[in-house]
Amino acid sequence: GAVVSQHPSWVICKSGTSVKIECRSLDFQATTMFWYRQFPKQSLMLMATSNEGSKATYEQGVEKDKFLINHASLTLSTLTVTSAHPEDSSFYICSAPDSRGTNEKLFFGSGTQLSVL
Amino acid sequence: GENVEQHPSTLSVQEGDSAVIKCTYSDSASNYFPWYKQELGKRPQLIIDIRSNVGEKKDQRIAVTLNKTAKHFSLHITETQPEDSAVYFCAAYNNNDMRFGAGTRLTVKP
């Protein structure tokens, strides 16, 4: 199946700093990338949907200026958590449908565990 | 938008028993329903899926049923094993939008 590579797998940062998370589709072109956040023992909550070459679509309640999403190429999408605070600590995970298929099957990155001190 | 509800939130079974997890969805236009298994700190893994034009699908010990009229679908795991212990998520997809249920923590006791 398709592979989505996500980095870093974990990051610890000080409050107020910014953190960038990258997701790359390795063997297919990801025209769409979904970004999810998952708090401990909770479900995957969609934060935003990014489309290559256009602005991301954010879910209600997700701050666009805080969670910057860039999808500049068909194989790379990034999420930058700006001015991170302890409440932003969470598991962030990306996923993309394989455009070669029917576009429904999602392939997930390995996730990034963010801890903000 | 789509709303997916999943029950139960936790499920404990004895090894060898069956486990059933149920989900309902709100958007009748949803046409694809995957189930994911997630182990702690890892990415969700697709274990089975079903499309809206099919009522049932089976893959070895795992089966999924779909009732479009009632807008609910279920995951059935037979002959459960300790390695089946994980969190399971259902999801409903429509038009490039995938929504997940809240998850079910399944524990299989040896």
The 10s digit of each residue's pLDDT in A52-103 is 888 899 999 999 999 999 998 999 999 999 999 999 999 999 999 876 766 6
Nearest residue in B to A93, CA atom: B43
Using the Cβ of A54 and the Cβ atoms of chain B, whether some distance falls under 8 Å is answered with no
> Residue B95: which pLDDT band, with cuts at 50, 70 and 90?
confident
What are the structure tokens assigned to B58, written together?
């089976």
The pLDDT score that the predictor gives to residue B42 is: 87
pLDDT of residue B97: 84
- The minimum CA-CA distance between B35 and chain A, rounded to whole Å, is 11
Taking CB atoms and an 8 Å limit, are A43 and B100 in contact across chains?
yes
Share of chain B above pLDDT 70, in %: 100
Q: Which chain A positions have a beta carbon within 8 Å of B104's beta carbon?
A: none
Tell me how close the Cα of B42 comes to any Cα of chain A, in angstroms: 6
Cα three-residue angle A95-A46-A29, rounded to 5 degrees: 25
Look at residues A88, A53, A91 and name the one whose alpha carbon lies nearest to residue A73.
A53
Question: How would residue B94 be classed by pLDDT, with cut points 50, 70 and 90?
Answer: confident
Q: Is-contact A18 A81, C-beta < 8 A?
A: yes
Q: Could you give the CA distance from residue B27 to residue A1 in angstroms, rounded to a whole number?
A: 29
Task: Report the residue of A4, A39, A43 to disrupt the B interface, i.e. the one with the largest count of B CBs within 10 Å.
Answer: A43
pLDDT at position B58 is 96
**Interchain pair A43, B97: CB under 8 A:** no
B55 pLDDT above the threshold of 80: yes
Q: Indicate the residue of B43, B97, B99 with minimum beta-carbon distance to A110.
A: B43
Alpha-carbon distance values, A79 to A14, A17, A109, B17, B90 (Å): 18, 14, 13, 42, 25
Question: Could you give the CA distance from residue A17 to residue A62 in angstroms, rounded to a whole number?
Answer: 19
Query: Which of B43, B96, B99 lies closest to A108 in CB terms?
Result: B43
Return d(Cα B46, Cα B70) in angstroms, integer: 24
Average pLDDT over residues B6-26: 97
